[in-house]
Amino acid sequence: MQLSDFNFSLPDTLIARYPLESRSASRLLHLQADGSFQDHCFTDILDLFNPGDLLVLNDTKVMKARLKGKRASGGAIEILVERIFNQNVAHCHIRASNSPKAGAVLFIGDGAVQVTVTGRQDNLFIAEFSQPILQVLDQYGQLPIPPYFNREAEEIDSVRYQTVFNDPTKLASVAAPTASLHFDENILEQLEQKGILKAFVTLHVGAGTFLPVRSTDIQNHHMHSEWCEVPAETVKLIEETHARGNKVIAIGTTATRALESAAQACGGKIGAWSGDTQIFIYPGYQFCVVDRLITNFHLPESTLLMLVSALSSRDHVMQAYQHAVEQQYRFFSYGDAMLIERTADL
């Protein structure tokens, strides 16, 4: 398949740059297995899910990973902490007028924190901080909101760009699992009362989620690496759900990638697993675990759009996207949602 197969025209006015007043006030486009679709409110999932179905959610938390500082010469720099390896060492993106060399020292917080560049790992810089990184981020960092918001992070983002069920001990993502942003405590309680179960996986979202696909032939694209974990208790719930004929519903593309990565690592059947994943899901992929997916509307020509097209079909998804544009659905991280049914035997 070609990159252009996943292009569509999106008016700038449909990009949701701020959240709605209520998390669950979004709209929901339900794409069924036969390609038909219906317009709903997000809260209609209470009627679209059945008792015994299982929601799988990503419990990662977004770091205040963006730091602004200076070189010794006074030139401005910006550091995005991508992945923390120990209390003082991380892989980072660094924006500066000139790319810093090994040995360069950068300064955060009027010089209170020194960051020494010690080398490179692919497109990332290896950086050593003079103070514990999480403390530095807490004191000086900003949430790394998506570039298409075209604004600086604001106070509202500190709450609304985090899920209500995030695990504070899993503070390691640089982007939110945005399909989960639609869930508030009230709708989670109503789902539980109906007998709809939930389980958790962890995938720490990297900045690579925003990187464009540069190859015209999508099969030549190489995904960025992200760490994920599928615990044994989640595997048990998935196995029990499928055994009784219920559906496993992944909440977001990150949960989907975690589940399918674990299945691939375990020979095609879901199993407990943790590690780095570079899984690239595009049409033709045979799903092992996920039956249904809740996801937001994604960027043209993005790997996320390719993933949802693999669960349904490219034609079905592109027709649904055209409808969403015509009906003025809100797009991207703070936008509206889709519920996508898996199409069998693609």
Residue 262 has pLDDT above 60, yes or no: yes
Token output for 302: 């993005």
Query: Tell me: the pLDDT tens digits for 203-240?
Result: 999 988 878 898 999 999 999 899 999 999 999 999 99
Mean pLDDT of the chain: 96
Query: Beta strand pairing status for 27-31 and 292-296?
Result: unpaired
Residue 345 has pLDDT above 80, yes or no: no
Per DSSP, the three-state class of 80 is strand
Q: What count of other Cβ atoms lies within 10 Å of the Cβ of residue 35?
A: 15
HSE (CB half, 13 Å, CA atoms) of 220? 6
* pLDDT tier for residue 346 given thresholds of 50, 70 and 90: very low
Query: Tell me: the pLDDT tens digits for 316-331?
Result: 999 999 999 999 999 9
Helix (H) or strand (E) holding 76: strand 76-84
HSE (CB half, 13 Å, CA atoms) of 219? 4
List, in sequence order, every residue forming a beta bridge with 341; answer none if it has no partner. 292
pTM confidence score: 0.96
Helix, strand, coil shares of the chain, percent, nearest 5, are 30, 30, 40
List, in sequence order, every residue forming a beta bridge with 127; answer none if it has no partner. 90, 117
Domains annotated on the chain, with CATH: 3-62+163-341 (3.40.1780.10), 66-140 (2.40.10.240)
